[in-house]
């Protein structure tokens, strides 16, 4: 029986050793579909998910992850990839979707206004934020926006490094959707920061503009794969009602 969201979150642990039991590829793929429904900045969906089941590539990726047990014993691996370089393509996809949604006769004034605002957002604002050249334009925009921000609220994260953070945050949200979905069906995961990301890119044949967000080991937990009870700092020390 599938777990509730709360049950799945409580069940999920970073599993570092997996049993030699196979997991169903189709079920893992469905969890990745759930991942693709995560919130994403400006709905740009600047992510890709590489679902690795090939034994040769699994071995190569485990070595790229320093042969840590969470990779070496995993039955499948997921590589969450950030594709900030695809922002133009994804912006166009949003515009095409909006044109299709609003492709109706006799649109109300409200719908016409919403269509215009949304399309202008992807045609004008997104290029303003994402266009850069060696970080120079981003820095210029940053200075200009800081000056404007002296007089009114304005979006300030316009540097190349800022936009990378935005894209990686969205990918992280998708990864959490995936791991919670896996926990809900009794499958286990372990998100790994430790990897040679350049080697991971070469193994997967990723283009230069792609960035590895994380590698996630997947399988059925072995009891020794959970390294002790869960620890969290007291909730009161991180919770602030304002």
pLDDT tens for 89-128 read 999 999 999 999 998 888 899 999 999 999 999 999 999 8
Q: What is the pLDDT of residue 184?
A: 98
In a domain, 238, yes or no: no
- Name 242's Cβ contacts closer than 8 Å, sequence gap at least 6: none
Same domain, 117 and 142: yes
Residue carrying structure tokens 């920061």: 193
Same domain, 61 and 101: no
| For residues 32-43, average pLDDT | 98
In a domain, 242, yes or no: no
Same domain, 11 and 33: yes
Contact 199, 64 (CB under 8 A): yes
- Name 84's Cβ contacts closer than 8 Å, sequence gap at least 6: 46, 130, 163, 164, 167, 209, 211
Q: What is the pLDDT of residue 73?
A: 98
Q: CB count, 10 Å around CB of 238?
A: 8
Same domain, 95 and 75: no
Same domain, 153 and 180: no
Judged against a pLDDT cut of 90, whether residue 185 lies above it is answered with yes
Give the pLDDT band of residue 137 (cuts 50, 70, 90): confident
Q: Which domain covers residue 44, as residue numbers?
A: 5-85+175-225
Query: At 56, which CATH number?
Result: 3.40.109.10
Same domain, 33 and 49: yes
pTM of the model: 0.93
Same domain, 99 and 144: yes
Strand partners, 80: 49, 214
Taking the C-alpha atoms of residue 54 and residue 15, their distance in angstroms, rounded to an integer, is 21
Q: CB count, 10 Å around CB of 35?
A: 24
In a domain, 234, yes or no: no
Contact 185, 31 (CB under 8 A): yes
In a domain, 166, yes or no: no
In a domain, 241, yes or no: no
Taking the C-alpha atoms of residue 34 and residue 86, their distance in angstroms, rounded to an integer, is 21
Taking the C-alpha atoms of residue 46 and residue 211, their distance in angstroms, rounded to an integer, is 11
| Strand ranges (E), the chain | 47-52, 76-82, 188-192, 211-219
Number of structural domains found in the chain: 2
Residue length of the chain: 242
Residue carrying structure tokens 């029986």: 1
Same domain, 141 and 211: no
| For residues 48-71, average pLDDT | 98
- How distant is the alpha carbon of residue 189 from its chain centre? 15
| Strand ranges (E), 138-210 | 188-192
Give 227's Cβ-side CA count (13 Å radius).
Answer: 7
Give the pLDDT band of residue 135 (cuts 50, 70, 90): confident
Same domain, 186 and 78: yes
Give the pLDDT band of residue 132 (cuts 50, 70, 90): confident
Strand partners, 78: 51, 216
In a domain, 38, yes or no: yes
Same domain, 72 and 133: no
Same domain, 73 and 115: no
Same domain, 91 and 79: no
Tokens of 77: 């691996």
In a domain, 137, yes or no: yes
In a domain, 232, yes or no: no
The full DSSP string for 8-50 is: HHHH--B--SB-S----HHHHHHHHHHHTTS--GGG---EEEE
């Amino acid at each position: 029986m599938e777990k509730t969201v709360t049950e799945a979150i409580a069940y999920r642990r970073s599993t570092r050793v997996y049993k030699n039991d196979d997991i169903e590829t189709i079920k893992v793929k469905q969890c990745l579909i759930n991942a693709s429904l995560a919130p994403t900045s400006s709905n740009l969906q600047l992510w890709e998910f590489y679902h690795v089941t090939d034994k040769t590539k699994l071995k190569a990726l485990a070595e790229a992850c320093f042969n840590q047990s969470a990779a070496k014993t995993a039955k499948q691996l997921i590589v969450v990839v950030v594709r900030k370089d695809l922002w133009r393509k994804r912006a166009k996809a949003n515009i095409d979707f909006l044109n299709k949604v609003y492709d109706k006769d006799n649109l109300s004034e409200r719908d016409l206004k919403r269509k215009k605002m949304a399309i202008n957002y992807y045609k004008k604002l997104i290029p303003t934020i994402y266009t850069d050249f060696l970080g120079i334009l981003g820095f210029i925009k940053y200075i200009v926006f800081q000056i404007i921000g002296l007089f009114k609220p304005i979006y300030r994260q316009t540097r190349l490094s800022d936009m990378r953070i935005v894209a990686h945050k969205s990918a992280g949200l998708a990864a959490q959707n995936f791991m919670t979905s896996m926990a809900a069906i009794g499958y286990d995961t372990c998100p790994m920061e430790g990897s040679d990301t350049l080697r991971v890119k070469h193994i997967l044949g990723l283009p230069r503009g792609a960035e590895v967000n994380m590698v996630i080991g997947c399988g059925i937990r072995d009891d020794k794969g959970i390294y002790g009870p869960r620890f969290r700092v007291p909730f009161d020390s991180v919770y602030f009602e304002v």
